[in-house]
Amino acid sequence: MTATQPLTGFTVGVTAARRAEELGVLLQRKGAVVCYGPAMQTVPLPDDTELREATRQLVTTPPDVAVVTTGVGFRGWLEAADGWGLHGDMVEALGSARILARGPKSRGAIRAAGLTEAWSPASESSGEVLEHLLDSGVAGLRIAVQLHGESLPQLVDALRGAGAEVVTVPVYRWEPPADLGPVDRLIEATLDGGVDAISFTSAPAAAGLLHRAGQLGVAEALLRRLRGDVLVACVGPVTAGPLVARDVPTVQPQRSRTAALVRTIAAELSARAGR
């Protein structure tokens, strides 16, 4: 039984808000006890003036390249544009651009809008998107980048540094969770030694957990745990950024996918148990 359930006896914290249940189920199928503690929540911006202004800019002067980072964000952008009477104009403007999709869900949303992506990375990472753009040359190009709750400074700054004009499109923002109880319990359980691993699927969740620990006055104690016997698993390098900046060692799957993250957690904790 234990051979097919490598996480039996382990407790894993889940800091995700969106798709937390999906991640939790995958962990439970491998035998883990899951401690849910969403550290951030996404807030759509259908009436946000910044989003509306970015949309109007792109309708007036269509981009040469458009980077779509999330399916849910792209659909939300289209819905907001529809509410402003700009849906058709926006689709037409994007139709003249070379569209890059960060992953399969982005591709699905693009195609559902009647558009076609020109390229998508195998890794589903923003880093590979950036590498592809820089390799193809971006000097003088107008590039629209749909943000996904994070400002993506590495991507945006690198494109601007290479000579591109970048229009950022903030389709939603991150805020602390409405109910702080679960994340507070996750922090407490981690400090008490009741959590073997904590998973992160977004940089804002990583930053949010550290921020909340600071508000509770236990930031340094939590960092000692995360630098010590608690496995910190991140879906990718961007997600790991806030933790790496605080000298927290992390493990990451080769592919930035939820299932791959779960396999990495199982392999790492099983290896630790063996030692």
* Domain of 25, in residue numbers: 11-40+176-274
Question: CA-based angle 17:229:224, to the nearest 5?
Answer: 80
Query: Which residues are paired to 119 by β-bridges?
Result: 100
Look at the chain and report how many structural domains it folds into: 2
Q: What is the 3-state secondary structure (H, E, C) of 5-66?
A: CCCCCCEEEECCCCCHHHHHHHHHHCCCEEEECCCCEEEECCCCHHHHHHHHHHHHCCCCEE
pLDDT, one tens digit for every residue, the chain (275 residues) = 345 689 999 999 999 987 899 999 999 999 999 999 999 987 766 557 889 999 999 999 999 999 999 888 899 899 889 989 999 999 999 999 999 999 888 999 999 999 999 999 987 778 889 999 999 999 999 999 998 766 677 899 999 999 999 999 988 777 899 999 999 999 999 999 999 999 999 888 999 999 999 999 999 999 999 999 999 999 988 788 899 999 999 999 988 789 999 999 999 999 988 66
> Any idea what the CATH number is for the domain that residue 61 is in?
3.40.50.10090
DSSP H or E segment with residue 264:
helix 258-274
Same domain for 51 and 156, yes or no, is yes
CB contact at 8 A, 138 and 65: yes
Same domain for 192 and 266, yes or no, is yes
Same domain for 117 and 185, yes or no, is no
